[in-house]
A and B are shown apart, each in its own frame.
Chain A
């Protein structure tokens, strides 16, 4: 109860923030609620689809884990024989370079394992394990905690043990024995709860970032645990970002021979991205859409900066927040069923907002004059029209995505992929401008025309038609017809969204905001401020032409400008002299110079140098 209360409270004061900073406070609460629910749905959808993607991988892993210690289950001597070699079953999990997404993958992996294989799963991170001692400590801590989750009545025992037990392999083994023995005794009563696990489930140790572990720690751990593999069914999982070869790079042969490694490869992050785009953006399920530029920024950040699907989703979250925050009409950006109600309750101000929309103005201009007047004066009529227009927009989207997918199927089978290989490229191309006016589209049609020929020829030969020449002309006709049909479909349904009236309501299109907040360039900002203060301080005195800087500029700008003239070392005396002459020589100019120099030092442009007395060294280079 308290919890839910808390959430309510926090939501309401968040809505306050939502309102406060806004010039257009219309419907802010409703907007905020819509925003939150939309984000919740998007997040859920993204998580579900990512989980689906990993399903295959996890299934394979689970069956591997089951297999690896099946002999141990039977408790036969065979096990001992087989494990004479002391090989630890190991899964090398190659996840790709998008390290930031791994966390989520591992979390769901450990969930899956705990549900289906074993309750004993430990997740280790390199930064927690600088030494073997820390590693064992972490391992024991995690294993015993999950033990607590199974039997809460044994709490006190664990509490004491965790603090007192010496973290060693033997203590781990005694713990394991006690756990499994207990379940042995209690099997009749506990059968139901532990049925999904076996009697002696394996202990899974996951090394999240295998590459960053110290070799020594890894080696020690592997060697020690291989000694005890008879008593403890241990399975290792290595999370690998680069390539499986790294195992042999990190571990010498003597150690890696103690492992029985099987390789598992996850889908590449680009496939993850495609799925997310497919499920979240190329669907009518979510009312908010992204414009071409925004999508391009997000994709570029993904491709050129981090390959992180999580960051992509985070970017999308920012889009949602920004859209609902800045666009007062975003209140209409909701599901079809609700739109009607919301349109009816629009205030007069909101109606004015609609009239101000550029796309709506364009629409009005194309209407007959009496209708124009009605649209601009009567709120009721406006609402009706808006309702209709929004319906149109919805129909447009319902047609757009299937046609887009169709076109993508055609284009992706062509050589050289004239309209892009991925559907997202095609989508961007369609959003950007009329796709049928582009050169790529033309070449697509030509190319498409060509395979049609081969296709028909093939069917033709199969039919073994004798009168070829006559049929062929028919084929020509057919080919043209097919191409024309596709062309007309494209022209009909793949109209760029910004040609649609009221597209501003559902499309977020301020890409600059996104780039500014996600992919900022602090150094550029510093340089601009120092080089051309007029950009920020709109004072006529600072207006400058070309490379010169007025002597009225802030001290730090002048000092910066002067330091650009220098080489690797700068003589402070010269610098001071120039500075003093540049500005009017006053009593405090010296002090101001000192301040400017120390500010430059703080910003990292210079540092004190010991090479020569009273010199500073420049830390940026070029032109020196």
Chain B
């Protein structure tokens, strides 16, 4: 009786292992476990299979991570000088094509761009002088001259009218604003008795004090903005002081990776390491000097940042030569490594153009900030430097995404003649390979296990717990479950399971925990029912363990909202794990306060065995056995003619498998072929047949650009080949 926990055999389905949601209601004396089987179930079969295996294209919820930071996109939308940059962009595009006269090309580009810039300087109604005014009030110094010079740089350093104009504007605005600190002080205190403020040099003022001085002058809103530095300092100091394992990494280190850019680095390293196996992989390229001497271009690259900054001072155009340099590096790399290099062709031409536009607009907007003047007061230097670093980061981003042409080697896995592993052999191989640093990992785990009772305490005090950090937390949570939740009602949700939904979670709560039979119109209704039941009966308690709360299926806004509301119930205790780097973006303030998280770092370094078993890795050969069996099953139940029709389509698709832009077989052609094969006698019959296929998700229809309907079988080629072979055998 007291043997509460009964292991449930985790059954493995044909290709992939499925784990199930299971609920144990042990304190009621009923020992049972119910498995919700998914994947292989009934008619869902092929659909689920196709989702799992067929398309590597997953929901693009996380694309947000790639979107440029807000202020820049806003600036872009302003469309300042849109006409100009496009001209510049064209010129730049033409430059590398010019081949031998590429420098001439670039000069041409520069000319065009300067013109564009000048146009902008005179035409655009509002150059960013507002910013200068705001900055001007921050400290002493000949601000007027600085502003003017900066404006001149924005105008390409050539346009005299633009310069004087800007100077006038900058000067006028600044006169009004600036009040030195001393004047204020002198105004208040009588300097007769006591000496006022010993040091006035802003250099010696530490950040905190600097901030304080400023914010006393400004209003509340300004205070918040300025105190930010204070905040950063405070957090930074604490982090250095108190983080034991030295994980104090600044944001810039995390969000940018300060490795020099070298697109052919990987191949270089490959060939290099082939000669000297066993050498440690160094990220710092300077460790192998002979490489640098061989390729002067790459050494130029490593110092390119400096060069870039220097040239930026007076040269507005510096991005173009830099870009060129990068292009120039390509042929050398080509000679060096045996692989051929080519740029991949872009899919979206329009995108390319707009992206170019973005980068040029940006660089033109950025330059005023960057072009420094020698007379900048020392206190401001720090700020400007920071700005520089920031804008470099931004430019790096746009540089990387400006063109859809990417320089990587053309080698493919097929040429490697290395057979792709299938899921099973992969699993076996990994099983055999010993886990590195098992002892240390064990030590880490023990450290975390000592927290279990604290977690229980905090769960009961109204907090919910979220675990983050590198490594699978599956085993840790499982241990927690076994050691702490033996006698309780608990629900384990394997979030990484590809077809888990919030609905299934709610269903298992209503059906298994609350013993409710019946359906609900919407998840919201269901949630309301659950909340009501939990509020009515205070003796009800439920522990919810969610592995990978940030998985594909659960990361949606609505799912998170429902889970958050569920977790906010006082007698529902949620403990979850997250892995994705952008997982915290799932939660806005409202959701976070509903979740009421306490964060725990549990870096385990354990391999993500369960979690990645459903991933569609490019390197893993998709066995497709599930798709294949469902295909044959469905087709066996059809008439001979129908099978013939499908066969025709499959063969046609296989004939075109090398054509990457194969749209599918158009309905008219298909009808023609079917008629010729005496399979149908009217297009109505064919349509009826296709509807049946579509219902079984055997085919997909797509409307082309010309409005013609195209038919496709959404199964990968190898599976289709297997299928046809099998069919042939049957016949």
Residues of A within 8 A of B (CB): 2-3, 6, 10, 14, 16-18, 20-21, 99-100, 127-128, 270, 293, 296-297, 300, 303-304, 306, 308, 310-311, 314, 317-318, 321, 325, 415-418, 420-421, 439-440, 443, 446-447, 449-450, 453, 476, 510-512, 515-520, 522-533, 535-539, 542, 546-552, 554-556, 558, 561-562, 564-578, 581-582, 584-585, 587-588, 590-595, 597-599, 601-605, 607-608, 610-616, 619-624
Minimum CB–CB distance for B521 against chain A, Å = 11
Is A582 in contact with B273, judged by CB distance below 8 angstroms? yes
Is A450 in contact with B188, judged by CB distance below 8 angstroms? yes
The 4 closest A-B pairs by CB, nearest first: A622-B256, A520-B599, A512-B242, A581-B273
Asked if B176 is an interface residue, CB under 8 A from chain A, the answer is no
The CA of A537 and the CA of B605, in the complex, are separated in Å by 9
What bracket does the count of chain B residues touching chain A fall in? 35 or more
Is B347 in contact with A566, judged by CB distance below 8 angstroms? no
Residues of A within 8 A of B593 (CB): 100, 306, 308, 310-311
Residues of B within 8 A of A3 (CB): 538
Minimum CB–CB distance for A416 against chain B, Å = 4
Residues of A within 8 A of B193 (CB): 449, 476
A611 touching B406 in the complex, CB below 8 Å, given contacts A582-B273, A621-B397 = yes
The CA of A462 and the CA of B471, in the complex, are separated in Å by 77
A526 touching B56 in the complex, CB below 8 Å, given contacts A515-B235, A566-B265, A592-B433 = no
Q: Which of B578-586, B628-636, B649-657, B690-698 contacts A (4 or more CB under 8 A)?
A: B578-586
Minimum CB–CB distance for A100 against chain B, Å = 4
The CA of A317 and the CA of B209, in the complex, are separated in Å by 31
The CA of A402 and the CA of B10, in the complex, are separated in Å by 66
Residues of A within 8 A of B260 (CB): 623
Minimum CB–CB distance for A603 against chain B, Å = 6
How many residue pairs link A and B with beta carbons under 8 A? The number is 385
Residues of A within 8 A of B454 (CB): 17, 21, 325
Residues of B within 8 A of A516 (CB): 599-601
Is A100 in contact with B270, judged by CB distance below 8 angstroms? no
16 contacts between A and B (CB under 8 A): A10-B460, A21-B454, A304-B228, A518-B598, A529-B470, A547-B259, A551-B278, A565-B283, A568-B406, A578-B266, A591-B421, A598-B615, A598-B620, A601-B612, A621-B66, A621-B397
A602 touching B580 in the complex, CB below 8 Å, given contacts A535-B247, A591-B421, A624-B400 = yes
Considering only residues 225-272 of chain B, those with a C-beta below 8 Å from chain A are 227-228, 231, 234-235, 238-239, 241-243, 245-247, 249, 251, 253-263, 265-267, 269-270
Q: Give the nearest-CB partner of B456 in chain A.
A: A17
Asked if B57 is an interface residue, CB under 8 A from chain A, the answer is yes
Considering only residues 433-467 of chain B, those with a C-beta below 8 Å from chain A are 433, 436-437, 440-441, 443-444, 450-454, 456-458, 460-463
Is B412 in contact with A573, judged by CB distance below 8 angstroms? yes
Please pick, from A127, A602, A614, the residue contacting B412 in the complex, using a CB distance under 8 A.
A614
Residues of A within 8 A of B452 (CB): 21
Residues of A within 8 A of B444 (CB): 536-537
Residues of A within 8 A of B227 (CB): 303
Minimum CB–CB distance for A314 against chain B, Å = 7
Is A574 in contact with B411, judged by CB distance below 8 angstroms? yes
> B559-603: contact bitstring with A at CB < 8 Å (1 yes, 0 no)?
001000000000000000011111110000110110010111101
The CA of A611 and the CA of B406, in the complex, are separated in Å by 9
Q: Which of B23-31, B211-219, B512-520 contacts A (4 or more CB under 8 A)?
A: B211-219
The CA of A300 and the CA of B235, in the complex, are separated in Å by 9
Residues of A within 8 A of B197 (CB): 443
Asked if B429 is an interface residue, CB under 8 A from chain A, the answer is yes
Asked if B670 is an interface residue, CB under 8 A from chain A, the answer is no
Is A591 in contact with B430, judged by CB distance below 8 angstroms? yes
Residues of A within 8 A of B347 (CB): 611
Question: Which interface residue of A16, A420, A590, A602 has the most chain B CB atoms within 10 A?
Answer: A602
Residues of A within 8 A of B432 (CB): 588
The CA of A578 and the CA of B411, in the complex, are separated in Å by 13
Q: Give the nearest-CB partner of A97 in chain B.
A: B589
The CA of A257 and the CA of B418, in the complex, are separated in Å by 73
Is B262 in contact with A565, judged by CB distance below 8 angstroms? yes
The CA of A112 and the CA of B583, in the complex, are separated in Å by 39
Minimum CB–CB distance for B238 against chain A, Å = 6
Asked if B684 is an interface residue, CB under 8 A from chain A, the answer is no
Residues of B within 8 A of A420 (CB): 212
Q: Give the nearest-CB partner of B617 in chain A.
A: A598
Please pick, from B255, B400, B413, the residue contacting A614 in the complex, using a CB distance under 8 A.
B413
Asked if B731 is an interface residue, CB under 8 A from chain A, the answer is no
The CA of A355 and the CA of B502, in the complex, are separated in Å by 55
Is B460 in contact with A525, judged by CB distance below 8 angstroms? no
The CA of A550 and the CA of B66, in the complex, are separated in Å by 31
Minimum CB–CB distance for A578 against chain B, Å = 5
Please pick, from A18, A453, A594, A599, the residue contacting B619 in the complex, using a CB distance under 8 A.
A594
Minimum CB–CB distance for B406 against chain A, Å = 4
Asked if B608 is an interface residue, CB under 8 A from chain A, the answer is yes
Is B280 in contact with A525, judged by CB distance below 8 angstroms? no
Residues of A within 8 A of B411 (CB): 571, 573-574, 614
Other 16 A-B pairs with CB < 8 A, given A303-B227, A599-B612: A17-B457, A270-B220, A318-B463, A446-B194, A447-B188, A533-B605, A554-B605, A562-B281, A570-B266, A574-B408, A576-B416, A594-B619, A595-B430, A620-B255, A621-B400, A621-B401
The CA of A303 and the CA of B619, in the complex, are separated in Å by 47
Is A549 in contact with B280, judged by CB distance below 8 angstroms? yes
Asked if B468 is an interface residue, CB under 8 A from chain A, the answer is yes
Is B238 in contact with A512, judged by CB distance below 8 angstroms? yes
The CA of A318 and the CA of B454, in the complex, are separated in Å by 12
Residues of A within 8 A of B253 (CB): 527
Is B247 in contact with A528, judged by CB distance below 8 angstroms? yes
Residues of A within 8 A of B266 (CB): 562, 565-566, 570-571, 574-575, 578
Considering only residues 64-101 of chain B, those with a C-beta below 8 Å from chain A are 65-66
The CA of A421 and the CA of B212, in the complex, are separated in Å by 10
Is B396 in contact with A622, judged by CB distance below 8 angstroms? yes
Minimum CB–CB distance for A612 against chain B, Å = 4
Is B238 in contact with A518, judged by CB distance below 8 angstroms? no
Asked if B404 is an interface residue, CB under 8 A from chain A, the answer is yes
Q: Give the nearest-CB partner of B397 in chain A.
A: A621
Considering only residues 391-421 of chain B, those with a C-beta below 8 Å from chain A are 393, 396-397, 400-401, 404, 406-409, 411-413, 415-416, 418, 421
Asked if B8 is an interface residue, CB under 8 A from chain A, the answer is no
Asked if B426 is an interface residue, CB under 8 A from chain A, the answer is yes
A517 touching B538 in the complex, CB below 8 Å, given contacts A450-B190, A620-B257 = no
Residues of A within 8 A of B2 (CB): none
Minimum CB–CB distance for B426 against chain A, Å = 5
Is A522 in contact with B468, judged by CB distance below 8 angstroms? yes
A623 touching B261 in the complex, CB below 8 Å, given contacts A416-B216, A516-B599, A573-B411 = yes
The CA of A533 and the CA of B245, in the complex, are separated in Å by 11
Minimum CB–CB distance for B491 against chain A, Å = 20
Is B418 in contact with A590, judged by CB distance below 8 angstroms? yes
The CA of A297 and the CA of B234, in the complex, are separated in Å by 8
Minimum CB–CB distance for B281 against chain A, Å = 5
Q: Give the nearest-CB partner of B57 in chain A.
A: A610
The CA of A610 and the CA of B273, in the complex, are separated in Å by 29
Is B238 in contact with A515, judged by CB distance below 8 angstroms? yes
Question: Which interface residue of A293, A510, A577 has the most chain B CB atoms within 10 A?
Answer: A577
Please pick, from A565, A570, A591, A620, the residue contacting B433 in the complex, using a CB distance under 8 A.
A591
The CA of A567 and the CA of B280, in the complex, are separated in Å by 22
Residues of A within 8 A of B311 (CB): none
The CA of A16 and the CA of B413, in the complex, are separated in Å by 58
Minimum CB–CB distance for B323 against chain A, Å = 13
The CA of A178 and the CA of B257, in the complex, are separated in Å by 70
Please pick, from A128, A526, A585, A619, the residue contacting B277 in the complex, using a CB distance under 8 A.
A585
Asked if B196 is an interface residue, CB under 8 A from chain A, the answer is yes
Asked if B539 is an interface residue, CB under 8 A from chain A, the answer is yes
Q: Give the nearest-CB partner of B608 in chain A.
A: A599
The CA of A573 and the CA of B584, in the complex, are separated in Å by 33
Is B66 in contact with A581, judged by CB distance below 8 angstroms? no
Residues of B within 8 A of A603 (CB): 470, 579-581
